[in-house]
Structure 1
Amino acid sequence: MQKKVILIVGPTGSGKTDLSIKMAQRFNGECINADATQIFNGLNLATNKITPSEQVGILHHLLSTIDLNENYSIKMYQQEGRKILAQLPDKTELHQYLSERVLRLTERGLFAEIEAAYKYCNYDSAKQSMKIIGCPEIIRYLKGELSYDATLATMVQTNKIYAKKTNNMI
């Protein structure tokens, strides 16, 4: 599957930053800064740098990464940008795999298995075995707290978080 990159270009003050946030939210993406002045750590007002609260949880790359005393070249930017782009498709592939994995497990009877285990544990979700990925989400579904689709989405998100933690430990 070929990965897509959305480039947002335009003159200063044309709304590129706001659009990048909307696009990242819509496509579960991340932002790579291409403003040569915003690469420097500091001068946030002078460069009209996006604030952490304006980032609304969207990961931003190449933003405030270089000390004001350092020089930075286009070659350095290209090298870093290419490295980040390579990491993003890898991450996208992992997320796609995790989504498909949750669906495969569901098709094989994950909901029924967890429901039976929950019953066997006398409906005690505090049991250690009921903390395994998928159990808390499906128990919430069984209690009517989550819809089926929300349960699947939550399980995918939990798997992504766990995969990231595991990757960081390795």
Structure 2
Amino acid sequence: MSMLLELFYAFFVIGSFSFGGGYAILSFLQQEAERRGWMSTERFVDMIAISQSTPGPIAINMATFVGYETAGVPGALVATLAVALPGMILVVLFALCFFHFYERAGTQAVFKGLRPAVVGLIAAAAWQIGKVAVSDWIAAGITLAALVLIAKWKISPVLLVIGSAIAGILLF
């Protein structure tokens, strides 16, 4: 299978089975990228940092970066389209049926079942990223400071990203 078809297939599958938004997709994407030899864990974590620093959804940004890293501009375009396409198809289908079925007990039960699974997927991605990103006491301190600043004082994520980048320049 050509690289572009392989990228399309992999990202279409990832986009099809990743519920819960961009952060939930990270564990799927990391497993796929490592299994296929597209990039190392360290490179993947670097790409997450870049994806967080650029505008747009993290899932789209990560697909673009992995596609580019793997097959250049055509790979970036194919991976981005492939990861977004299932969601676009589902949104159109859900929009056609949503209001008709939303109030039904079965639909509510599905949503109640999906919510904890999404939290688990996000926690797994955070754990995997944390194992690589928090590799020393300085990084652990930056992580803890960011967590406290955003949880307790609701500091803007933009300021946290800028502050963390400055801390990285000064401390590493």
Q: Normalized per residue, which structure has more helix?
A: 2
- TM-score norm. by structure 2 comes to 0.27
Return the TM-score normalized by structure 1. 0.28
Structure number with greater Rg is: 1
